[in-house]
Structure 1
Amino acid sequence: MSRVIWLGLLLSLLGLFLSLWVVVPAPTFALLPLGVGAPEISPLLLVLNGLLWVGAIALSRLQRRPRFRQIAHSAIALSLIAVLLSSVPMLQLPSTVRRAEQSMREALGETYGASGEVAKTWRSQPFVWLDLMRGIPIPAQVLAESVEYAAADGTPLRLVKYQPAAAPARKMGVIAAIYGGAWRSGDAEENAAFNRYLAAQGYTVIALDYRHAPAYPFPAQLQDVQAGLQLIRQRAEDWGIDGDRLALIGWSAGAHLATLAAFQPNAIPVRAIVSYYGPVDLAEGYRSPPRPDPIDTRAVLTDFLQGTPDSRPADYRAASPITYVRPGLPPTLLIYGDRDHIVKPEFGQQLYRQLVANQNTAVLLRLPWAEHAFDAVFRGIGNQIALYYTERFLDWAIGQ
């Protein structure tokens, strides 16, 4: 029995340790996966901690020796604290969905959801317990093809094209997907689960590549995205896609490049933008980094722009999407976690306000428990909500 008591205490400590990251920001990059992952699986942690709490209570009642009873009481207290911490996202879930629904309806209209065949493949609810446990189903009937093309300076790049195995009767809408990685790392293979998920709904998803800083500073990345978009327009007939029904989606640095490319005065026309936690105002991001700052934001921006806002003010302005806000921009869905310690969420809120003030269609989806890159946990509570509204936003923009 003594071993059971000590095991119960150890498990209670483990549950508390994991649950702390639901509310405590990661101070270093090495700990960031805990800060990202714990909130996303918090419903499972809640169940685990609840079971440990009940088990500790049962053990305490079976103990006659004061020492073991005291250990059991400690396990009860630890598990109760863990229950309270891990319950935070679930308590925030109903109001989060209400706000998201209101924002979608205000921007897109009361009947923004589709009612045809496409809607049958959508998520039925913003959050599904079963998907958290088993994973979000991704149909296998998706073809992926790697295509080489050249960057603006001739450097070889590679895109990945995802299409449904059974081509629709009409040309497909196309989504250009741009990965993140602080403009320093990554490749077009990233976000494969997301890209396959959308391709299974009848879109062609083309994951673009770009050159990385510091070897290739800005504007190389923007030029490469523009070259990729131009290639999509040129190959539209060969690939069976409708180049006029083009949307851009990006994550972090990729979201920055997506909005920057779409906001340019001479941009290739796009129907919509989806920005997952994208940087908006780079000069202000340098001057006001997050606290804690696990990736060293100032070093990242210095690599990207080869200097500081004081030494290269024109480059910081040119590289900031907020610089180009004006009437007539594409409809934009902005998705940010309120606990983001890589890209501060107030920048997304600032972009949303300026877009709306300039009579643009914009939706802001805020996830109060979520860290940066929350959707890396594809089955997680935050990604489930983001997918639910992203698929409906894209259908409204390019599905028709």
Structure 2
Amino acid sequence: MLKLLLGVLLLLAAFLVLFRAPNHWLWLTSVAITNFPYIPMLLSIGIIFWGYRSQQYQMVTMILGVISLVIYALPIVNAYKMNQRLAKNLQAAFPKDVTIAQTPFSFFNMFRKNETVQYTTLQYAAYPDKKLMLDFYANHQNKKAPLVIVIHGGSWQTGDSKQLPELNSYLANRGYNVAAINYRLAPDYKAPAPVEDTKAVIDFFTQHAAQYNIDTNNIILIGRSAGAQIALCTAYVLQLPNIKGVVSYYGPADMVWGAQIKVSKKVLDTETIYNNYFGGQYNEVPQKFVESSATAQATTKAPPTLIIHGAIDPLVSYQHAERLQVVLNKLNIPNYFVALPFATHGCDYSLNGPDGQICTYAVLHFLNAVVINK
């Protein structure tokens, strides 16, 4: 009976690879499962062998194990499929000869050790009531190089510059200066405070370019979740010619549309989040939502954009990415959408996971394609 129960639980958990999680805790479970699929795959194999060696519930247990194994393997299978077309598609979207000494996905890379680069904490802005800091990862060659500004997520009210730092080291080891920033958080500060803070980061490094070896002609913004909304609006609203590109990891791009769809409070309390960040709901402060929508702020001067989103994201609807791409295509803005059918919010939690490897490859290809003279 125990093996049957475990087989059923394993199969139920596997559904988190196929469907959006119905609550916050199951979402966290789905992050773990899709970033480290080999763990539940091994458990599934264990259930299969356990069922094979025991007469009681033998066939049922083995069937449960096989079905679970197949579902858990889907992110890996999809990553292998993307191996065949990702570089070609990125090349077509951002025409420039780019050579990267790695494949988009390797099974054995799921077990590699992540790189680490020591960072320096710098103060980039000071307000009467708050000092703002960032973590600066100097490029490995210690020479003049483009600047990548990384903006953390957290519903505009939590999180900090230490969020998912592996990508920062990865990019620094490949010739980029990286600034992972802190910004003013809700509810104490409302929109567009984080956009203003991101502009302050650009100003800081423009003023100290020689000291930190910054190529101020080449700046790229990368944001995750709420940070992606900040990155997109900064790039689209400021229209600075030295912002060469922007990357959105599962970001809310159409706040007007997003404010009018229903999200379960068991997953995310958007009503409180909107009150904290915008100062009210859409029917109360509609202009705030318009000003914070990348889909509304994009113009023909928008920089090239890389969009990354998972289809089973329960926190930020996959349709945000689709709606953003429609707008960018109408404006003839170079863009590419890395659509991940078995990925959730936080698909890059592990750079070594199947989706993490795909995302990291796409980001590096994008950066190399949009910066000038690199």
TM-score, with structure 1 as normaliser: 0.86
For residues 215 and 327 of structure 1, the distance between their equivalents in structure 2, rounded to whole angstroms, comes to 34
Shift, 1:333, TM fit: 0.6
Q: 1:50 to 1:292 in 2, by over 3 A?
A: farther
For residues 130 and 267 of structure 1, the distance between their equivalents in structure 2, rounded to whole angstroms, comes to 41
- State whether residues 178 and 251 of structure 1, in contact with CA within 8 Å, keep that contact through their aligned partners in structure 2: yes
Q: CA offsets, 1:96-126, max 9 Å, x none?
A: 44564453132123x5423xxxx44xxx222
Residue equivalent to 1:160: 135
Matched, 1:77 2:63: yes
Residue equivalent to 1:19: 14
Matched, 1:45 2:36: no
- State whether residues 114 and 166 of structure 2, in contact with CA within 8 Å, keep that contact through their aligned partners in structure 1: no
For residues 362 and 396 of structure 1, the distance between their equivalents in structure 2, rounded to whole angstroms, comes to 12
1:375 is paired with a residue of what secondary structure? coil
For residues 137 and 210 of structure 1, the distance between their equivalents in structure 2, rounded to whole angstroms, comes to 26
- State whether residues 370 and 382 of structure 1, in contact with CA within 8 Å, keep that contact through their aligned partners in structure 2: yes
Residue equivalent to 2:107: 129
Shift, 1:88, TM fit: 2.8
The partner residue of 2:209 within 224, 229, 236 is 236
Unaligned runs of 5+ in 1: 1-5, 61-68
Amino acid at match of 1:19: A
Count residues with an aligned counterpart: 373
Q: CA offsets, 1:283-302, max 9 Å, x none?
A: 21110134686012232122
For residues 244 and 342 of structure 1, the distance between their equivalents in structure 2, rounded to whole angstroms, comes to 35
Shift, 1:268, TM fit: 6.5
Residue equivalent to 2:271: 298
**After TM superposition, where is structure 1 displaced by more than 6 Å over at least 4 residues in a row?**
none
2:133 is paired with a residue of what secondary structure? strand
Amino acid at match of 1:56: G
1:25-40 correspondence runs (5 A): 25-40=20-35
1:186-205 correspondence runs (5 A): 186-205=159-178
2:147 is paired with a residue of what secondary structure? strand
Q: 1:323 to 1:24 in 2, by over 3 A?
A: closer
Q: CA offsets, 1:309-363, max 9 Å, x none?
A: 1111111111111111111221111111111111111111111121121121111
1:175-194 correspondence runs (5 A): 175-194=148-167
For residues 14 and 283 of structure 2, the distance between their equivalents in structure 1, rounded to whole angstroms, comes to 41
1:263-302 correspondence runs (5 A): 263-265=236-238, 267=240, 269-290=242-263, 294-302=267-275
For residues 341 and 260 of structure 1, the distance between their equivalents in structure 2, rounded to whole angstroms, comes to 23
The partner residue of 2:122 within 144, 147, 158 is 147
2:56 is paired with a residue of what secondary structure? helix
- State whether residues 86 and 104 of structure 2, in contact with CA within 8 Å, keep that contact through their aligned partners in structure 1: no
Q: CA offsets, 1:189-208, max 9 Å, x none?
A: 22211101111111110111
Root mean square deviation of aligned Cα: 2.3
Name which one, 1 or 2, has greater alpha-carbon Rg: 1
Amino acid at match of 2:158: S
Q: 1:21 to 1:346 in 2, by over 3 A?
A: same
1:224 is paired with a residue of what secondary structure? helix
Residue equivalent to 1:113: 98
Q: CA offsets, 1:132-153, max 9 Å, x none?
A: 1x24531x4x331001232556
Amino acid at match of 1:130: F
Amino acid at match of 1:113: V
Unaligned runs of 5+ in 2: none
- State whether residues 331 and 362 of structure 1, in contact with CA within 8 Å, keep that contact through their aligned partners in structure 2: yes
Matched, 1:254 2:236: no
Shift, 1:10, TM fit: 5.8
- State whether residues 224 and 249 of structure 2, in contact with CA within 8 Å, keep that contact through their aligned partners in structure 1: yes
Residue equivalent to 1:3: none
- State whether residues 174 and 246 of structure 1, in contact with CA within 8 Å, keep that contact through their aligned partners in structure 2: yes
The partner residue of 1:92 within 78, 82, 86 is 78
